[in-house]
Structure 1
């Protein structure tokens, strides 16, 4: 990830771009469904399920890229007076906490994906299986954890 390049950075960027496409698709679907409802009094069947899935996947797809760019929520009002090195250590600590949280969430979502696959859980209207969406969530959080761990090392070394 040197200079925000490399395999991990490329993966985070690609996943975010795919998330952007998913979000665009949900916006287009919503627009089409509203127009269809206006014209024919019939929405696209299952539109709310598809929008929920697409929006959720987009958010999960953006997490790693946001962490890569360090554009996630940062509260530095208490560390602006610290010397730069001390502020980096504090940032590294909180990035480590974020990496741990993301890793736990990834593991829990992986368990959830296996369970929804085993139980055959589907959406209510369209009957779409949901295990793959939960599995993508696990992947999104795992990638986020890797990006955050790389930032921990970079911040601790002063390689920001």
Structure 2
């Protein structure tokens, strides 16, 4: 099975799948980096009595970006939480229509959130919003989150247009 495959086993190809895979790998790398930073900060606190300055700011940004990085890949894989207690008895075709509808709703919600985050990133850039300890600009993190949400919207749209086979 390929790295990005639908639950039916068909490999996912194309630019949307490539973007989702890249964001997922970047999210995993970011999560690993935040874990290593946390361990290093705890070790430094234990040895020297002081943490790494701004560690909590970096962990906040990194953890948030990691989660955003996983959203599109999880959507494309249809690995989100599905509640089909009320639809499992329905015909497969009707279940596909219902799934497509909710994927369209998810695509619209993710696109709306992504658009608003783009505006938030632009506002943070214009106002030069920075973190408290490191004085790190925040617009780039908000912008990356917006990119991940827009990719999630594309993945949800793709899922709506290409329904999964019944497994």
TM-score by length of 2: 0.91
CA displacement, residues 99-130 of structure 1 (integer Å, 9 cap, x when unaligned): 00000001000000000000000000000000
For 1:159 and 1:80, how far apart are their aligned partners in 2? 14
Match of residue 59 from structure 1: 67
Give the aligned partner of residue 12 of structure 1: 20
Alignment correspondent of 1:117: 125
Query: Which digits, 9 at most, give the CA deviation of each residue in 1:70-98, with x for residues without a partner?
Result: 00121111110001111111101110100
Within 2, Cα distance between the matches of 1:86 and 1:104? 27
CA displacement at 1:159 relative to structure 2: 6.5
Q: Distance in 1 between matches of 2:94 and 2:69?
A: 31
Distance 2:119 2:165 in 1: 35
The number of aligned residues is 158
Partner residue, 1:36: 44
Instruction: Report how far residue 3 of structure 1 moved.
Output: 3.4
Deviations along 1:36-85, whole A, 9 cap, x unmatched? Answer: 10111110000000000000000001100000100012111111000111
Q: Which of 44, 50, 53 is the aligned partner of 1:45?
A: 53
Give the corresponding residue for 1:27: 35
Where does residue 161 of structure 2 map in the other structure? 153
1:81 to 83, 89, 93: 89
Distance in 1 (alpha carbons) for counterparts of 2:49 and 2:11: 52
Q: Return the structure number with greater helix share.
A: 1
How does the TM-score come out when normalised to structure 1?
0.95
Unaligned runs of 5+ in 1: none
